[in-house]
Amino acid sequence: MTKASVVDQSAPAYAPKRLLAEARAASKVNIEQVFAFLEGSPEKAALTNELLAEFAADPAITQGPEYYDLTKAEQREQTVKKIARLALYLENDIKLARKQHHKDVVRDLQSPDAPMVTMSDMERFEKRSTLVALIDPQLATRLGVNLSLFGNAVRGNGTDEQIKYWLQERGLIFVKGIYGCFAMTELGHGSNVANLQTRATYDPASDSFVIQTPDLVATKWWIGGAAHSATHSTVYARLIVEGKDYGVKVFVVPLRNPKTMELLAGISIGDIGSKMGRDGIDNGWIQFNNVRIPREYMLSRFTKVIPGNPPKVEMEPLLDSISGYAALLSGRVSMVLDSYRFGARFSTIATRYAFGRQQFGDPTNETQLIEYPLHQFRVLPQLAIIYMMAPGAMKLMDTYNSCLGELYGAGDDKKKLTTVSARMKDLFVESASLKATCTWLTSTLIDELRQTCGGHGYSSYNGFGKAYNDWVVQCTWEGDNNVLCLTSGKSLLKKFAGIVRGKKVTICDTSMDYLRMDYIQKVVMGGTKKVSNLSTLPDYYQIWSVILVKYLKRCAETVRDNNDPESVSKLLVSIAKFHAFYSMLQEFHRKLASDQSHVGDAATKEVLWKVYKLSSLYFIDKFSGEFQQLKVMSPDQMTNVQEQMLAILPEIKTHAIRLTDAFHLPDAVINSSIGNYDGDIYHNYFNDVTRVAAKDKAPGVPPYADMLVNFLARGDQFDNLNISETSFKNLGK
C-alpha cells in the first residue's frame, strides 16, 4: 500500500495534494518579490536560493529522514564528516571570491607573506554558514565554535600578528591544520564571566604562563569541541602577575596533538555526554594541571605582560571591554537571523499540514483544519511573526557589520574607538533584546506549531522534536534570555531616567527614537492618544513606543521611590520584549513603505501590510494586560483590537500557502514528511517511515522476541487451542 499502489487520484490519500494545489491557485501573491523583500534584495534572495539548492543536492549535508534516527555516537561522527565536506565548500568559496581556480589558494594564504584574508573572501561562506544552521543546527555550532568563537576571541583580543598567525597561517579559518574551541564557561560560572576562576600565573623565570584549574567548580564546562575535536583552545583565565590578579584575559592553549588527537600533558578532558539536543557537538570539560604556555600565547592586543624584573602589565581597560562586547555580539546577531530562518521552516510545515489535513464536518469531505477560526489563530500569527523578524534580523546584521568595520578600521585610534564604543553599547542593548525575544518566539513557535500537527507532530520524521531540542539552548547560551532582557531593560531605563533628568544621553539606533524628551512629554501629556486607534499604518509600530514610554516611566518612579532596581526586574523583562517588537515592527514598516521594498505588485504589498498589522495586533492582544493597565488602551479598544485580528486571519489564510512558499525552502532542507511542497502528506509520511524501517530484518518481530515470549509464556496457549467449547459459546452471548 505504498505510493505506487494507489493510482486512483480521487482516493482519500490524494486529497491533501489537491487541496494544496487549490490553495496555490487561489492566491496571486508574487512569491519572488516577497522573497526579495524578506532577504533584502533580489540578488541576496538569488544567492540564498543558489546555496540552498547546492545543499539540497548534496546528500552529505541533507540526509533525509535517516537524520532523525542517528544515535549520539553516529551524530558525533557524521557531524565531523560534514565539517570536512564544508571545509571543501569553504575553499571553493574563497577561490570563487579570488577568481583563482587553478591553484591552491588556501595554501598560498597560509604563507607568512600572504595578504590578510578579507571580508569579501569569506562572504559567500558566511552566508552559507547561516543556511547550515537551518538545515543542521549542531553542525553549524560545531563548526561555529572553531570559526566564530575561537576566531572572534582571537580577533577581539589578539594583536594583528596573533590574528594573522592563529587564524591564517595555522589555518584555523580554513578549518585546516588546527581546530579551535572556546573555553570560557566553568562548572560554577556562566553568566558572571568576571568571576571565572581558572588561573594563568606568569612565571618570570621561564617567561611563560602556568594554566591551572584551582578546584572542581573552576572546571571548564560545556566546551563545544573539547571532548573530541579541538586541538587548541582560547582559555578565559585570571591573569596573575607577581601575585596580583588582573582579571580575566584570554590565552591560546594547545590541547591535543593534531597528528594523533592525543591529549597533551596536564590536560584532563572528559565528555559532557548526552544533551537535550545537538548531540552532534562534542561538548566536554577541561581541567588544567600545571599546563605551561609561552608568554606569546596570551592574546595581548589590550593587555600585555612585559618581561623584566619585576615584570610589568600594560592594560587598556576601555578597549578591552569593547572587544569583549564585539566577541559576544556575533553570536547574538546570528541568533536573530536563525530565528527567522528556523521559524520559516516550521511555519512552512504547519501551514501546509493545516491546508492538507481534514478533520470533522462532512464525513465524505471533511473540513480542512485551516478553515477553523481557532486553527487560523494558532497557525497564521506564527507565520506573521516570521515576517516581522526578517527585516529586523537583516537590519541588525547590517548594523553589526558596519560597527565591526568601524571597530577594526579604527586601529589604535582612541578617539574613533571611543565613538564606536557608544554605538557598540547601543548595539549590545538592541541585540540582547532581539536575541532574547526572537529565540523565545521561535521556541514557542516550534512548540505550538507542533501541537497544530496533532500526533504526527510528535514523529521525529516531521522534524519538530529534534528542532525544538536543538533550538531551545539558544534561549540560554551566549547570554541567558532573562539575564539579557534584564540587562537591556536596565540600560533602556537608565537612558530614560537620564533624559527625564535632562542629562545628555547618546542614542545611536533608530529603534530607540522614542527616548527623546519631546516624545516622552507627548506620551505623558496624552498627545499620542490617537495612535491607540490604529488608524494609520505607522500606528501599528508606534503604539509600542507609547507603551514603552509609559512602562519606563512607571519603572523609573518605582525605583526612584524604593531605590531597588531589582524590584522592577519582572517589568524590565517585558520592556526588553516590547522594545524588540517596536524595533522589528518599525523596520518592517520602514522597509515595506520604502522604494526599496522590492515589492512592485500592489496586491502583494497589500497582503504584506496585513501581515504587518497581524503581527502587531497579535502581540497587543497577548500583552493586553499591560496595555490596559498602563491605560494605553481601554477595554473597548482592546475588544476592537481582537476583532480586527480575527477579521484579518481569513484574509491572510487565502495567501498563507504562498506566503510560506515564498521562503523558498527546498524539501530536503525542510526535511519533514508532512511538510513537503507537493502536500502529499500521507504518501510521503508512509514512505519515509517504511524507508527508515527497511533495515529491520524481521518486520513485526522484535530483536528481543525471546524475552517477550518467555515472560508471557507464564500464561496460556495460542488462540482458541485451549478454550473449552462452553466458554467459547459464552463469548458469543
Output 419 or 629, the one with its CB closest to its own copies: 629
Q: Rounded to 5 degrees, what are φ and ψ at 212?
A: -140, 135
Q: Does the annotation count 74 as an active-site position? A: no
Q: Min. distance of Cβ 668 from its own copies in angstroms?
A: 19
Q: Is 213 helix (H, G, I), strand (E, B) or coil?
A: coil
- Tell me the C-alpha distance between 139 and 6, whole Å: 39
Q: Which of 566, 655, 688, 634 is nearest to 27 (CA)?
A: 655
Output 459 or 511, the one with its CB closest to its own copies: 459
- Contacts with 706 (C-beta within 8 Å, 6 or more apart), sequence order: none
Output 274 or 563, the one with its CB closest to its own copies: 274
Rounded to the nearest 10 degrees, the angle between the axes of helix 15-25 and helix 317-356 is 110
Q: Min. distance of Cβ 107 from its own copies in angstroms?
A: 8
Q: Residues in the chain, how many? A: 733
- Tell me the C-alpha distance between 619 and 544, whole Å: 10
Output 228 or 653, the one with its CB closest to its own copies: 228
Q: Min. distance of Cβ 39 from its own copies in angstroms?
A: 31
Q: What is the dihedral of CA 524, 527, 529, 530, to 10 degrees?
A: -160
Look-up: residue for cell 571580508?
119
Q: Min. distance of Cβ 726 from its own copies in angstroms?
A: 8
Q: Which of 192, 214, 346 is nearest to 290 (CA)?
A: 214
Q: Min. distance of Cβ 276 from its own copies in angstroms?
A: 3
Residue 525 · residue 591 · CB < 8 Å: no
Look-up: residue for cell 522534524?
463
Q: Min. distance of Cβ 519 from its own copies in angstroms?
A: 23
Q: Would you tell me how many other CB atoms lie within 10 Å of the CB of residue 88? A: 11
Here the cell at position 15 is 486529497
Output 426 or 626, the one with its CB closest to its own copies: 626
Alpha helix positions (H), 654-699: 656-661, 667-670, 681-692
Q: Min. distance of Cβ 476 from its own copies in angstroms?
A: 6
Q: Min. distance of Cβ 479 from its own copies in angstroms?
A: 11
Q: Min. distance of Cβ 658 from its own copies in angstroms?
A: 25
- Tell me the C-alpha distance between 686 and 697, whole Å: 18
| Chain center to CA of 88 | 25
Output 294 or 405, the one with its CB closest to its own copies: 294
Rounded to the nearest 10 degrees, the angle between the axes of helix 414-452 and helix 464-471 is 150
Q: Is 234 helix (H, G, I), strand (E, B) or coil?
A: strand
Cis peptide before 42 (omega within 30 of 0): no
- Contacts with 533 (C-beta within 8 Å, 6 or more apart), sequence order: 539, 637
Catalytic site residue from 186, 478, 587, 626: 478
Output 447 or 651, the one with its CB closest to its own copies: 447
Output 310 or 361, the one with its CB closest to its own copies: 361
Residue 224 · residue 277 · CB < 8 Å: no
Output 268 or 506, the one with its CB closest to its own copies: 268
- Tell me the C-alpha distance between 682 and 36, whole Å: 32
Query: What distance, in Å, lies between the first and last C-alpha atoms of the chain?
Result: 37
- Tell me the C-alpha distance between 51 and 340, whole Å: 17
Q: Min. distance of Cβ 82 from its own copies in angstroms?
A: 11
| Chain center to CA of 96 | 28
Q: Would you tell me how many other CB atoms lie within 10 Å of the CB of residue 292? A: 15
- Tell me the C-alpha distance between 512 and 578, whole Å: 12
**Residues paired with 203 in a beta bridge:** 208
Output 66 or 509, the one with its CB closest to its own copies: 66
Give catalytic residue positions: 478
